[in-house]
Amino acid sequence: MVEETGGGLKSGTVYKIIAVATDGSQAAREAVRHAAVLAKVCSASLRVLYVVNIHISFHLGTYQQMALDILEEEGKKAVDQALKIAKEIGVQDVKGRVLSGNPRQCILSWAKEEGADLIVLGSHGYSRIGALMLGSVADFVVHNAPCSVLLVRP
């Protein structure tokens, strides 16, 4: 059970579905750990997402399909790693997914689709591929999310 600490949570508030987005970076792995601990404490479901940023591959010309395949494989590895972390922490209900699209929009629509009442993200520190993204995904999600957002510093 999560108690009021002056930050806006009401006594008795419990998260039921926690969504965490990963890009495979160290910051994202730390966000996964935080999300998994919260999920265990709250007996919540944990949902893990990796977004293949298709906007990066548009600039790769003839190598576009190869790049998408590599990015999708990287996404599967990042999700598998996150699922392993969650299971080691003791989360009972955990599922992962890889989507392709704009990370900002995919995270928001996916969280809404999953019925998430908390989104957890690393505050910064993208992987080498994710570093190519323009703008801050975390900042966009914080300002547009349909639920609470927790940013985890590395």
Report the chain (154 residues): mean pLDDT per 10 consecutive residues: 47 83 92 97 97 72 78 96 98 97 95 97 63 66 95 86
pLDDT at 96: 98
Q: What global pTM score does this model have?
A: 0.83
| pLDDT at residue 67 in the model | 79
pLDDT for residue 58 = 58
The pLDDT score that the predictor gives to residue 30 is 95
Domain ranges of the chain: 17-152
C-alpha 10/C-alpha 12 separation (Å) is: 6
Query: What pLDDT was estimated at residue 105?
Result: 95
What was the pLDDT predicted at 87?
Answer: 98
The reported pLDDT for the residue numbered 126 is 54
User: CA–CA distance from 125 to each of 17, 49, 73, 87, 145 (Å)?
Assistant: 25, 17, 20, 24, 21
CATH fold of 17-152: Rossmann fold (3.40.50)
Cβ–Cβ < 8 Å for 152, 138: no
The answer for residues whose C-beta is within 8 angstroms of residue 78's C-beta and 6 or more apart is 22, 23, 24, 28, 50, 127
